[in-house]
Amino acid sequence: MPLERDNSEVDRYLDRAIKGDHTGLEYLVNTYRDLAYTIAIRIVLNREDAEEVVQDTFLKAFASLHNFRKAARFSTWLYRIVYNTALTKRSGKPMATVDLPEQWDSERHAGIDGSQWDELRHTERRKYLDLALSRLSQQDRLVMTMHYIGELSIAEICEIMDMKKSAIKMRLLRGRQQLAIELESLLKNEVLNLL
């Protein structure tokens, strides 16, 4: 996920994007699309809608670049647009679905080498984390995603979600506690299924 790059580098490409230079626009998309997608999918809960939200976000952002105040971080401004666009998209849907990774297929993974095994282990861990995160409330899931995956500061999350610092800290605490409970439940069930 993108950490805020050197501000001078971001500013340089931002200036180019404001002038309509495709290199600047491409840099901004490549730098920020992964976390934008992660935030979107945590709200709309399916891949197609998340991809549409990210596309709409970049279109809105690029159309409004001339309004961007450089006193703020570009990433915070952009993720606020993602957040609002995703909420709007979700509000039009009566029922959302959760896309989950493929289930483990032990026959398909027979005879793999060590590096592939490590990758599968990482994929399995990610599957359980994603599933546990999907069981959190939307707000807690978003705060956890932005802080731990996107590495955004509490102040940035406050600005994006228009919430107080104490509320963000409480959501992080509650999210960690609930995530631990959900992971314990998921893994306990997985162990029972293996036996």
pLDDT in tens, 127-144: 888 888 889 999 999 999
Mean pLDDT of the residues in the chain: 82
Residue 61 pLDDT greater than 60, yes or no: yes
Spell out the residues 6+ positions from residue 169 whose beta carbon is closer than 8 angstroms to its own.
Answer: 154
pTM above threshold 0.85: no
Q: How many helices (H) and strands (E) are present in the chain, helices listed first?
A: 8, 0
- Using 50, 70 and 90 to split pLDDT, how confident is the model at 52? very high
Using CA atoms, how far residue 76 sits from 21, 50, 81, in Å, is: 22, 18, 9
Instruction: With beta carbons less than 8 A apart as the criterion, state whether 178 and 140 touch.
Output: yes
**Chain centroid, CA 140 distance in Å:** 12
Question: What CATH number matches the domain at 114-194, 2.60.120.1440, 2.60.120.260, 3.40.50.1010, 1.10.10.10?
Answer: 1.10.10.10
Residue 132 corresponds to which tokens in the numbers above? 């546990």
Distance in angstroms (rounded) separating the CA atoms of residues 175 and 141:
7
Residue 178 pLDDT greater than 50, yes or no: yes
Q: Which tops the pLDDT comparison, 101 or 72?
A: 72
Burial 175-195 (b: 16+ CB within 10 A, else e): beebbeebbeebeeeeeeeee
Class of domain 7-91: mainly alpha
Q: Which tops the pLDDT comparison, 98 or 28?
A: 28
Residue 181 corresponds to which tokens in the numbers above? 């409970």
Q: Assess whether the region 7-91 and the region 114-194 belong to the same CATH fold.
A: no
Residue 97 pLDDT greater than 70, yes or no: no
Residue 26 pLDDT greater than 80, yes or no: yes
* pLDDT for the residue numbered 117: 53
Lowest mean pLDDT of 15-19, 85-89, 120-124, 187-191, name the range. 120-124
Closest CA to 149 of 44, 38, 5, 67: 38
Instruction: With beta carbons less than 8 A apart as the criterion, state whether 172 and 153 touch.
Output: no
Domain locations in the chain as residue ranges = 7-91, 114-194
Per-residue pLDDT, averaged over 27-42, amounts to 94
* pLDDT for the residue numbered 99: 43
